[in-house]
Structure 1
Amino acid sequence: METQTKNETLISKEQLLAHWQGHRALTRRVIEAFPEKDLFNFSIGGMRTFAVMAAELLAIAGPGVKGLATDEWKELDEKDPSQGSKAKLLEFWDKTTAEIDEFFPQISEGRLQETMLAFGQYEDKGYCTLLYFIDNEIHHRGQGYVYLRALGIAPPNFWER
């Protein structure tokens, strides 16, 4: 058996960005699937509404990718910017997607190996922080799937990213 000593990349930055954007496109379709009133009012078991969860994802993704790229971290601001409008929430979602496309290429591979304090409170390596952004979105999207099913709405296929 031959052992390789060369450092090989498992996934390129471009592939990781495409993976994340695939998840974001799917989460956008989950937001679209909600009736407007249920997006802002429906919850189960004391969990937050999906609009509030989406506001958290917006607070993390755009400012988070900018922080990874520039090391400028602002305090998390998770208030819902949509003012109770699904159209506005989707508009903010699309704006954040554009921010990710703008700042992600500016993140150096070395930066992903550095330890940082994201949002002034979460210390970890850059790649762990980035993976948390993605994992957190998947987690909350799963909650959205439960809500949609409870409302009698078939959610988008999770594999169609």
Structure 2
Amino acid sequence: MTDSHLLRPSDLLEHWLGHRRLTRRVIEAFPDEQLFTFAPAPPMRPFGEMVWEVHGQTAYNLNGLLGGGWGEPVWERVPSADKTDLLAEWEAQTAQLERELPAFPAARYGEIKRLAWGDMLVFTAVIGAVDNEIHHRGQGIVYLRLLGITPPEFWER
């Protein structure tokens, strides 16, 4: 993709980082004892598990973008059920995005790659990761409300 497209890479990065900042605040809003245990009804998962999924999909995208490896993702169901560990990994991955994504050439967002879930534009894969984060964060916001907790405002990124 070039700068004549809808978003410049710097805009895409800032958009993604804004979502990550908001998701972090949703994680922080959860009581420690509820993050990995509370789910409203089967087969819904606790928010902490969903955040680890988001982390894994982001790692998959970063691996593909930066290293060219778009093979099969490795999904660890829940690497840790500790909120502090999750937040530390979230911050480390966010720092990696901030540090390394600006070097990804804009034209490469228009390449088609074979991902685990089919052939798609690199841009579509990145937007899919952001969409997945938004989807699961929305679930987390509903969970917070069910727990009687006012969630962070979604527009404050």
TM over 0.5: yes
Among residues 96, 100, 107, which one is paired with 2:97 in the alignment? Answer: 100
3-state SS in 2 of match to 1:41: coil
Is the contact made by 2:39 and 2:143 (CA closer than 8 Å) also made in structure 1?
Answer: yes
Are positions 1:68 and 2:65 aligned together?
Answer: yes
Provide the TM-score with structure 1 as the length reference: 0.88
Q: Give percent identity, aligned residues only.
A: 42
Among residues 101, 106, 125, which one is paired with 1:129 in the alignment? Answer: 125
Provide the TM-score with structure 2 as the length reference: 0.90
Query: RMSD value over aligned CA atoms?
Result: 1.6
Unaligned runs of 5+ in 2: none
Work out which structure has the larger RCO, using CA pairs closer than 8 Å and 6 or more positions apart in sequence. Answer: 2
Find the aligned partners of 2:16 and 2:69 in 1 and give their Cα distance: 21
- Alpha-carbon spacing, 1:121–1:9, altered in 2? closer, same or farther (3 Å): closer
Q: What is the CA deviation profile of residues 142-161 of structure 1, one whole-angstrom value per residue up to 9, with x for unaligned ones?
A: 00001000000000000000
Is the contact made by 1:115 and 1:123 (CA closer than 8 Å) also made in structure 2?
Answer: yes
Unaligned runs of 5+ in 1: 1-6
Give the number of equivalent residue pairs. Answer: 153
Among residues 132, 151, 157, which one is paired with 1:155 in the alignment? Answer: 151
Runs (4+) off by over 4 Å: none
* 40-49 or 145-154, which deviates more: 40-49
